[in-house]
Structure 1
Amino acid sequence: MKNYLTASTYIDFDHPDVAARAAALAEGAATALEVARNCFGFVRDEIRHSADYKLNPVTCKASDVLRHGTGYCYAKSHLLAALLRANGIPAGLCYQRLSVGTDGAPYCLHGLNAVHLPQFGWYRIDARGNKPGVAAQFSPPTEALAFAVRPPMERDLPEIWAEPLPVVIDALETYTTYDQVLANLPDVVLLA
């Protein structure tokens, strides 16, 4: 669990602003479940999704997402992991491989989180941000993610990563505007 509780370059909960926000979200909460719910709600509802709102700059580090109030799903997952870890709650990063359009190629990754809750174990949450057709919720033990996968080429990638995938970091650090990222969303090749 240690890897899911540490600060890093992109999950920088040791940044004073992130630490302060994490403490504020935990204030008055009696359990880890309540803290996790508060953190999830804040990132889902208060941090705007870059493509939905056509916002720059492109953010990657949790502290930058918090400072600018915007991020792609990947960056929002970095902030949520940072807020949870700052409160001593193990959190990791998860990905889905989804169609960019309504069906078929091209495909891209979608970033979300897994949080380890004492009552439930690992539980996936998706703070991407709701909009018409997207209604992610925090309702353990039932998952209520932003997107359902449609086989055969869409997939829930089963891993829980402690750090962002390099292809995600590359996309968020290479492109400087939201529309450039939107035109170059990261993807992975499925082995089977």
Structure 2
Amino acid sequence: MILTAEPSQDYLGLDTVIDGDHPQVAGLGAELRAAHRDDHEFARAAFEYVRDEVAHSFDVGDPRVSVTASETLENRVGLCFAKSHLLAALLRGQGIPAALCYQRLTDDGSSHVVHGLVAIKLDGRWHRQDPRGNTGGIDARFSVTGERLAWPVRPELGERDDPRLHATPLPSVITTLRSTDDILRLRNGGLPGDF
């Protein structure tokens, strides 16, 4: 898949959601960077931290709502979107361009949900990474030689990748996450269905 970046977007920018300047997020980024000076190794360490140390809300049945990078780090739990916000913030805070990406996926082909990922720019190329978390046969891994995402897209079921690289989260994602005080209520029909 060819990813399309918008030249006007700043993939190093921080904002109220990708809040890499928050003291705890910045501190974790600096700690990981101190242990991994090479950009590739730092990006891998940040990815593995978010994938493995921050639980996916649905996997662990945790109702807390995490939206921003700092909320996700504080709660140590979030949906794929929140985990992607944290990974992007860690990377951007340490000078590595990161974009938000999305997939449209389904369990049964009758209804679809948007899934959040991150693209990292290393050596002049973008590489999509999925920090969702591994469970139940999911085996997402950091890779710059070929995608190792949680789920491959199945076009025959109406699934598709969004080839655009987003500097900021989709408004529908933020609206959905902010619309509830129990993230588990979004499990059946509450998540955005398209991008």
1:44 matched residue in structure 2:
51
How many residue pairs end up in the alignment? Answer: 186
**Cα RMSD over matched residues?**
1.3
Mapped partners of 2:159, 2:131: distance in 1: 20
Kindly state the Cα deviation for residue 56 of structure 1 after the two structures are TM-superposed.
2.5
The residue number in structure 1 matching 2:3 is: none
Map of 1:144 onto structure 2: 148
Letter in 1 for 2:46: C
Q: What is the percentage of aligned positions where both structures have the same residue?
A: 46
Alignment partner of 1:10 is 2:17: yes
Query: What is the letter of the counterpart of residue 133 of structure 1?
Result: G
Query: For residue 163 of structure 1, what is the aligned residue in structure 2?
Result: 168
Match of 1:177 in 2: 182
Distance 1:173 1:105 in 2: 26
Query: SS of the counterpart of 1:84?
Result: helix
State the distance in 2 between where 1:157 and 1:57 align: 28
Question: How far does residue 133 in structure 1 lie from its aligned partner after superposition?
Answer: 1.8
Verify the 8 A CA contact 1:22 1:83 in the aligned structure 2: yes
Distance 1:70 1:28 in 2: 24
Contact 2:111/2:193, CA 8 A, preserved across alignment: no
How far did 1:109 drift?
Answer: 0.2
Q: 2:31 corresponds to which residue?
A: 24
User: Post-superposition, which runs of at least 4 consecutive aligned residues in structure 1 deviate over 3 A?
Assistant: none
Structure 2: how far apart are the matches of 1:56 and 1:17? 22
TM-score, normalised with respect to structure 2: 0.92
Q: Distance in 1 between matches of 2:153 and 2:146?
A: 16
Q: Tell me, in whole angstroms, the C-alpha distance in 2 between the residues paired with 1:137 and 1:22.
A: 20
Taking the aligned partners of 1:77 and 1:139, their CA distance within structure 2 comes to 16
Deviations 1:112-144 (A, max 9, x none): 0000002x6100000000012210001212110
TM-score (ref. length: structure 1): 0.93
Which aligned pairs between 1:16-165 and structure 2 lie closer than 5 A?
16-99=23-106, 101=107, 103-118=108-123, 121-152=125-156, 153-165=158-170
Structure 2, unaligned runs of 5 or more: 1-6
Deviation at 1:187, TM superposition (A): 1.6
CA deviations on 1:10-68 (whole Å, 9 max, x unpaired) are 00011001000101111121311011000000000000000110112111000000000
